[in-house]
Structure 1
Amino acid sequence: MAKLIIVAILANQLLTLAFVSVVEQIDPDSPVLMRSVFSFVTCVLLSSWLQADARRAYLVAREKGCITPVDGTHPTLSIAPNCPRRWLVILHIEMNPAIVGISA
């Protein structure tokens, strides 16, 4: 979850910086509340999007057989090195370890 929060905050900061620079050019006296609301909404949307994207990446990887879950015959989790969008698959597994048989 910490990775998700860090990525969302960093992306949010970049988007908010771009937004503020555009708004400053259009209206230098724009209210600070508008910037804060934009930043909050962007952070929520980014984290939701990242979680959904990680879930989709995991489902695709599972369909393609790129993930070997933990069970009686496989004592360790295995994710194929050529797994598409591997970092998102790992992120989803780290947020939901029970889906592959790992106790949290």
Structure 2
Amino acid sequence: MEARTRVLIKGWLCVTLLGVAVSEVEALIFVATFFPFSDSALLPVILAHLASTVILVMVWAVRDARSAYQRALDDGYVRLAPRTRVVTGIARDCPRRWLVVLHIQLHPELIDL
């Protein structure tokens, strides 16, 4: 498997796991709150809500990562190679650094692999 493909898969896996983790916490809250009072008719509604939560969290994470990368680029926290868009470094004190790294993982063309 090509290195860029591995980086891209790792990025999307992180985004997906974040969405699933948020959905799991929400499911725990639903079960603890409504399970004693609900019947099985609510189960499809809860499952649809949890599935949409995964999708919404994934969209949020990708957009937030793009915003963090652009802000880091504008503020000089991301170093680019001369005359290219290839990222050569990210400052350690970069705010929301993990989102900048996530954006780069989702766009492996930004790094030289």
Normalised to the residue count of structure 1, the TM-score between the two structures is: 0.82
In structure 2, the residue matched to 1:24 is 35
Q: Residue 88 of structure 1 aligns to which amino acid in structure 2?
A: L
State the alpha-carbon separation in 2 of the partners of residues 4 and 18 from structure 1: 22
Point out 4+ residue stretches in structure 1 off by more than 6 angstroms.
Answer: none
Asked if 1 retains the 8 angstrom alpha-carbon contact of 2:78 and 2:91, the reply is: yes
In structure 2, the residue matched to 1:102 is 112
Q: Residue 63 of structure 2 aligns to which amino acid in structure 1?
A: A
In structure 2, the residue matched to 1:6 is 17
Identity of aligned residues (%): 29
User: Aligned ranges for residues 9-88 of structure 1 at < 5 Å?
Assistant: 9-25=20-36, 27-30=37-40, 31-70=42-81, 77-88=88-99
State the alpha-carbon separation in 2 of the partners of residues 71 and 96 from structure 1: 19
* Bigger helix share: 2
Normalised to the residue count of structure 2, the TM-score between the two structures is: 0.76
SS of 1:81's equivalent in the other structure is coil
Runs of 5+ consecutive residues of structure 1 not aligned to the other structure: none
**CA RMSD, aligned part only?**
2.2
